[in-house]
Amino acid sequence: MRLEQLPKDFQKALPILKNIEEAGFEAYFVGGSVRDHILGLPIHDVDIATSAYPEEIKSIFKKTIDTGIKHGTVTVLMDDESYEITTFRTESGYQDYRRPDKVTFVRSLTDDLKRRDFTINALAVDHDGNVVDKFDGLTDLKNHLIKAVGVAEERFHEDALRMMRAVRFQSQLDFSIESKTEQAIADNAPLLEKIAVERVHEEFVKMMLGQAWKKGFKAFLRLDLAAHCPGFHDAINNLTKLLKTDDVQMLDETMVWVSIGHVLNLSGDDLNHFLRLWKVSNQVREECLATENTLYDFQSGNFDIWNIYQNGIQNIPRVEELCQLFKIQIDKDKINKAVSEIPIKNSHALKITGKDVIDILQIKPGPKIGEYMNSLEKAVVTQAVTNSYKDLQRYLLIL
Ligand code: ATP
Ligand code: MG
């Protein structure tokens, strides 16, 4: 197969391929960008594979960064873009089920394609748009199939993360997993425990954010991957509840974790502990706890504007999506009206400062100031007082 026209992102990177070829080496576009372009999806990063060794790449281009030089990856900077250029390589060892003991640079494209995870990810395109397809990846693309390159069982033994990648691509692309590949996942799911939580986390969240997340999540449960993830072992029954929800896309990582927390009946400290098990970032973890609080308020009908404000007005659109997902009846108009009437978005918008409080009350700086400020903020948010210096000053004096 030959691509009629190279996509814009490939055209822009053509000088890189040309420069490498003029120096006497081979270079191809590879991986996700080739797959996504053939599927008519937007490309996010253009990866290039080459027969040149990293040192050879560095001598061809002026501006390079040693991104992962030990594994053969050099980043080349050109026209405000950066491209990862990786030397053809084979991998061997894999005694720990997660990474090769040895990476060997090779000069053959076929050898490089052989080490890739799925046939749809093992396609390469040359400067003329010719597609190199050694493992029938094009047929699998057409049939919407995720199929391991070579013997699936062996490939998951080499790197158990590939099992999570399979369900992740299933969800992102709305594909099916080929039967032998699927059987090999079911047989080897316990190997997932060998993989660092951070890497499983990354694939899990990508899966949940995919267009066909229920399909990916269903396979994740059915193939027993879930049982080998943090905090899920005894929770499979509850997790299946997520399959019975409305068809709603997950907005972001926070929405993913709050929905999981919701079906597992986790809140407060328990939710916090669960999120720590998954090594969720501090920022997302805090956002999850606040979002869960507001969701609880909405669900219980306990509509406290001060609570909602404290948990962050910016979380409301996400909470509304969660309510739709879980078919929780809420009065959106009432909520939106109440929220739009809150006079300030955050404490910075208060027309009085801590220093003003000190001056007005003639008191010394200390924790008391924070308490006064908090009372003033609450009074403004609940509209007990208007947000003007004069009114706040008067209010403060009668507090
Ligand atoms: P994305 O759209 O998420 O970037 P991608 O297919 O580009 O998808 P990457 O993780 O960026 O995925 O990896 C780039 C390519 O490297 C893949 O297409 C695949 O060929 C290869 N690859 C990545 N991870 C693995 C792995 N664990 N085992 C084998 N090959 C892999
Ligand atoms: Mg990629």
Going residue by residue through the chain (399 aa), what tens digit of pLDDT does each one get? 999 899 999 999 999 999 999 999 999 999 999 999 999 999 999 999 999 999 999 999 999 999 998 899 999 999 889 999 999 999 887 677 777 778 899 999 999 999 999 999 999 999 999 999 999 999 999 999 999 999 999 999 999 999 999 999 999 999 999 999 999 999 999 999 999 999 999 999 999 999 999 999 999 999 999 999 999 999 999 999 999 999 999 999 999 999 999 999 999 999 999 999 999 999 999 999 999 999 998 888 877 889 889 999 999 999 999 999 999 998 888 888 888 999 998 999 999 999 999 999 999 999 999 999 999 999 999 999 999 999 999 999 998
Give residues whose Cβ lies within 5 Å of ion ligand 2. Answer: 32
Gap from CA of 47 to ligand 2 centroid (Å): 7
Structure tokens at 120: 């749809």
Cβ of 117 closer than 6 Å to ligand 1, yes or no, is yes
Cβ of 31 closer than 6 Å to ligand 1, yes or no, is yes
Minimum-distance ligand 1 atom for the alpha carbon of 159: 27
First-residue to last-residue Cα distance in the chain: 78
Minimum-distance ligand 1 atom for the alpha carbon of 116: 30
Minimum-distance ligand 1 atom for the alpha carbon of 168: 3
- Sheet containing strand 27-30, edge to edge, reads 64-68, 73-78, 81-87, 47-50, 27-30, 123-125, 131-133
Q: What are phi and psi of 176, to 5 degrees?
A: -105, 160
What whole-number distance in Å separates Cα of residue 395 and Cα of residue 399?
A: 6
Which residue puts its alpha carbon closest to atom 17 of ligand 1?
31
Minimum-distance ligand 1 atom for the alpha carbon of 47: 14
**Strand-pair category, 47-50 with 102-105:** unpaired
Nearest to 302 by CA among 312, 315, 293: 293
pTM for this predicted structure: 0.92
Nearest to 120 by CA among 155, 154, 145: 145
Nearest to 394 by CA among 365, 369, 364, 361: 361
Gap from CA of 115 to ligand 1 centroid (Å): 11
| CA neighbours closer than 13 Å in the CB half-sphere of residue 118 | 30
The bound ligand whose nearest atom lies closest to the alpha carbon of 120 is 1
**Strand-pair category, 145-146 with 176-177:** parallel
Cβ of 32 closer than 6 Å to ligand 1, yes or no, is yes
CB 137 within 8 A of CB 110: no
How remote is the C-alpha of 142 from its chain's centroid?
26
Which residue type does 17 have? L
Which residue puts its alpha carbon closest to atom 7 of ligand 1?
32
